[in-house]
């Protein structure tokens, strides 16, 4: 009788809403993107690339999208605020030629340019047209277990002159960055300038060494 009191009969625990909320939470890595440093190369409208990284529940908002400019290529440089284990990706576009047809993922190469995309990616995916954002592309987790910077290259689409992406979902785990380097820098920067003797000695020792 005690179990009945909770209203948790077998199978009653997971109503649709709960399952959806849980699925949405799984796609929460967009919260861990360092938005100030996020780049989208060849975007037609400046800043539009950033809009495709949003909550899973809002993936259907077709007013927010990125479209390529000169040709069909798009390149995202996505720095995270910590270390990410990337497990899956969703790429949502239109059901037409503007939908990206291929996705190439690179890890930990900040500020990639289109020239850099000649490098071998960690993983390449052939994409299907996914107007509803339902297809999940699983990554080779071993290759994406310590990602602080992710680059996504979309080299081609299904035949249109430009590429459009409405939503990109990133699924995985996030760990806070260890800030050892920062501590050291701060310590050096706060050396006491009143210590003039030190200042006079320092340049000479540099020349000797």
User: Do 64 and 40 contact (CB within 8 A), yes or no?
Assistant: no
Which two tokens mark 183? 């501590």
Four-way CATH pick for 23-175: 2.30.110.10, 2.60.120.470, 2.40.37.10, 3.30.70.260? 2.60.120.470
Average pLDDT, the chain: 85
With a cut of 80, say whether residue 165 has pLDDT above it: yes
Instruction: Indicate the SS3 state at residue 207.
Output: helix
Rounded distance between C-alpha atoms, residue 169 and residue 185, angstroms: 35
Question: In percent, how much of the chain has pLDDT > 70?
Answer: 77
User: Can you tell me the mean pLDDT for 122-147?
Assistant: 97
Q: Is the pTM of this model over 0.85?
A: no
Q: How far apart are CA 7 and CA 188, in angstroms?
A: 60
Closest by CA position to 164, among listed 41, 67, 48: 67
User: Which H/E stretch holds residue 13?
Assistant: none
* 189 vs 124, residue with greater confidence: 124
- Give the pLDDT score at 2: 47
pLDDT: which is higher, 194 or 83: 83
Pair 101, 127: CB distance under 8 Å: yes
- Among the listed residues 58, 42, 51, 160, the one whose alpha carbon sits nearest the alpha carbon of residue 101: 160
pLDDT of residue 191: 54
Report the distance separating Cα 110 and Cα 122, nearest Å: 14
Q: Indicate the pLDDT class of residue 180, thresholds 50, 70 and 90.
A: low
Q: What's the pLDDT at 23? A: 74
Give the residue-averaged pLDDT of 12-30.
73
Tell which residue, 60, 84, 192, 100, has the closest CA to residue 145. Answer: 84
pLDDT tens sequence across 109-120:
999 999 999 999
At residue 15, the pLDDT reads 55
Location of structure tokens 């000695």: 201
Residue-level pLDDT at 41: 98
């Amino acid at each position: 009788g005690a179990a009945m009191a909770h209203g948790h009969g077998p199978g009653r625990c997971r109503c649709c809403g709960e399952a959806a909320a849980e699925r949405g939470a799984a796609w929460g890595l967009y919260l861990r993107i360092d938005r100030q440093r996020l780049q989208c190369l060849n975007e037609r409208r400046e800043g539009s690339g950033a809009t495709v990284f949003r909550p899973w529940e809002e993936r259907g908002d077709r007013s927010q999208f990125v479209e390529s400019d000169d040709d069909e290529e798009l390149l995202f440089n996505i720095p995270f605020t910590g270390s990410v284990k990337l497990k899956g990706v969703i790429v949502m576009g239109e059901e037409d030629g503007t939908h990206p047809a291929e996705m190439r993922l690179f890890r930990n190469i900040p500020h990639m340019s289109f020239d850099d995309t000649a490098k071998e990616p960690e993983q390449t995916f052939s994409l299907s047209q996914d107007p509803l954002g339902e297809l999940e592309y699983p990554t080779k987790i071993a290759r994406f277990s310590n990602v602080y910077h992710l680059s996504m290259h979309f080299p081609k689409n299904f035949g249109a002159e430009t590429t459009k992406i409405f939503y990109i979902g990133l699924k995985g785990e996030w760990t806070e960055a260890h800030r050892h380097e920062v501590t050291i820098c701060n310590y050096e920067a706060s050396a006491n300038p009143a210590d003039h003797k030190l200042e006079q000695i320092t340049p000479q020792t540099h020349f000797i060494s």
